[in-house]
Amino acid sequence: MLLFFALVALNSFKICSAAPPEMSQTQIHLPKPTGQYQVGRSVAELIDYSRKQPFVQDDEPIKLMISVFYPLPQQKHSTFAAYMPPETAAIEDFELGLTGLAAPNGTFEKLALHLAGNQTPENFTDVTTCQYPLVVFMPAEGTTRHFYNQIVSTIASTGYIVVSIDAAYDVDVVQYLDGSLALFNFTLWNTTDQALLNATGFLAIETRVRDVSFVLDSLSNATFAHSLIPNLPPSGLNTTHTAMFGHSLGGATAFSVLEADDRILGGLDMEGGLFGPGLLNGTSKPFMLMEREGHTRENAIDDPFLTLEKVWPHLTGWKRDIIVADTGHYDFSDYPVVFETLGVTPTNEIVLEHLGLGTLKGKRALEIVTTYVGAFLDFVIYGKCSAILDGPVERFPEVTFEY
C-alpha cells in the first residue's frame, strides 16, 4: 500500500495521474468532487537543508510532505484511492477513538477519495490543464493534511492546482515516503499558560510561513513541477500569482504569509485566530475570515488577547469576516463529511464538542466551505466578483456577515 505514496519519488511521468493499487472490498467512497473537472493527486517529500526543525531536540532539517491535487479533463473511468496511508489511518483511529468517536482499528483505512482514472497524459484531448492557477493549503495544528483531502480535491475539481502542505511535529502525524513518521510535539502545546502558547504559536507560524515560501521555491522548478502534474506548459507552474487558505493555525499562516511572501496575493483563514508575525503590520492584501458559530472578533473567550479585534483596523485592503451557523472548530475540515460517509457521526453532545463539531450535516458543511473558499480564490486570482462574498444570500442562510 505504501507503494502508491512512493510513486512520485520514482519520478515517473506516466503515473502522475495517481493510479492506486487495488483497495480492499470494504472501501468506503467519499463523494465525487462537485466541480467540472476530475482530480489527480501526487505526493512528494521536500527537505529544506538550510533550516533546522525547531520542534525536535535532535538536529534535523525541515522535512515537509506535500500533496498536489490537480484538475484533469473528465474521463470515462474514475478510480478510488486511499484517503490517507494505512499507518496514518491507524493512528487516527486511535486518536479520534480517544475522543469518543466510534473508530475501531481499520476505520479510516477504508476511506477512499474519488480520483481520475489512470489514463496517461498523452491521451488527454484537452490540454488546458496547464493554465490552472496554483493555490496553497495548510491544516490546523495537530491535524494531518489528509483530513482536508476532500475539501482540497473539491477545490481542485473547480480548476485549481492545490498544494497541501504538512508541517512536521506541529500536526499529529506526518508520514514520509519511506514510511517513517514525525509525530506531534504535544508537550509544547499542552499548557494553559497563554504567554507560552503564544510563543509556541508564533514560532510555529514563523516556521510555516517559511515552509510555504520553500514549497513555492521548489515548485518553481519546472522539472519538479512536471514530475508532479501532467500537461503543464514547458515553463511549469505559475508560482508568482497564488493565494493561500488554511484551517486554524494553517489559516493564521495564510494571514502571516501575506506580508512575508509577494507571491501570495490573498489569504483565507478558516476558523482561526490571528497570531504570528503578520500581526505586527496588518496587511493591505485581500483577507477573509470564515469562523464557527460564536467566534466573533469581540469574543474574549476564544481570543483572550483580542487579536482579531485589534488587527481588524490594520487590514486595509478588501476584507470579509463571515460566520457559519451550527458549526464547531472542526467543521472546517473533512471531519463532518468523513464521519457522515463512514456512518459514525456522533450523536452525543459531549463527543461532538470534543471533536469540535456542530450540528451541520457533513455534505452541507463541505458545500459551504468549498463554495466560499472557491469564491474567495476566484476573487483573488481572477478578480471575479461574487454575490456570496457581498452579503447574506438565500442559498446559504447559515452564513452571516460580521461587518
Which chain residues interact with ligand NAG by CB under 6 A? 54-57, 90, 94, 105, 119-120, 123, 185-188, 190, 195, 198-199, 202, 221, 223-224, 227, 235, 238, 240-241, 259, 277, 280-281, 305
> Is residue 134 helix, strand or coil?
strand
Query: Which residue, 158 or 238, is less far from ligand NAG as judged by CB?
Result: 238
Least Å distance, CB 243 to ligand NAG, is 12
DSSP state of 20: P
Query: Which residue, 26 or 223, is less far from ligand NAG as judged by CB?
Result: 223
123, burial (CB in 10 Å: exposed 0-12, middle 13-18, buried 19+): exposed
Least Å distance, CB 241 to ligand NAG, is 4
Angle at 26 between CA 25 and CA 27, to 5 degrees: 95
Query: Which residue, 128 or 235, is less far from ligand NAG as judged by CB?
Result: 235
Contact between 42 and 13 under an 8 Å Cβ cutoff? The reply is no
Nearest to 153 by CA among 323, 31, 243: 31
Least Å distance, CB 194 to ligand NAG, is 7
Least Å distance, CB 141 to ligand NAG, is 13
Q: How far is Cα 372 from Cα 386, in angstroms, rounded to an integer? A: 10
Query: Which residue, 224 or 318, is less far from ligand NAG as judged by CB?
Result: 224
Amino acid symbol at 321: D
Least Å distance, CB 122 to ligand NAG, is 7
Contact between 81 and 112 under an 8 Å Cβ cutoff? The reply is yes
Q: What is the 3-state secondary structure (H, E, C) of 72-123?
A: ECCCCCEEEEECCCHHHHHHHHHHHHHCCCCCCCCCHHHEEEEEECCCCHHH
Which grid cell sits at 150? 476532500
Least Å distance, CB 227 to ligand NAG, is 6
DSSP state of 268: E
Which grid cell sits at 240? 508568482
Query: Which residue, 150 or 283, is less far from ligand NAG as judged by CB?
Result: 283
Query: Which residue, 198 or 386, is less far from ligand NAG as judged by CB?
Result: 198
Query: Which residue, 185 or 327, is less far from ligand NAG as judged by CB?
Result: 185
Query: Which residue, 260 or 325, is less far from ligand NAG as judged by CB?
Result: 260
Least Å distance, CB 335 to ligand NAG, is 20
Pairing of strands 38-52, 134-138: unpaired
Query: Which residue, 172 or 398, is less far from ligand NAG as judged by CB?
Result: 172
Query: Which residue, 322 or 342, is less far from ligand NAG as judged by CB?
Result: 342
Q: How far is Cα 269 from Cα 305, in angstroms, rounded to an integer? A: 18
Nearest to 145 by CA among 213, 209, 67: 67
Least Å distance, CB 359 to ligand NAG, is 29
Q: How far is Cα 29 from Cα 230, in angstroms, rounded to an integer? A: 25
Least Å distance, CB 37 to ligand NAG, is 18
**CB-facing half-sphere around the CA of 40: CA atoms within 13 A:** 27
User: Cell 456522533 maps to which residue?
Assistant: 346
Contact between 114 and 68 under an 8 Å Cβ cutoff? The reply is no
Nearest to 273 by CA among 241, 244, 300, 251: 251
Q: How far is Cα 155 from Cα 158, in angstroms, rounded to an integer? A: 5
Least Å distance, CB 190 to ligand NAG, is 4
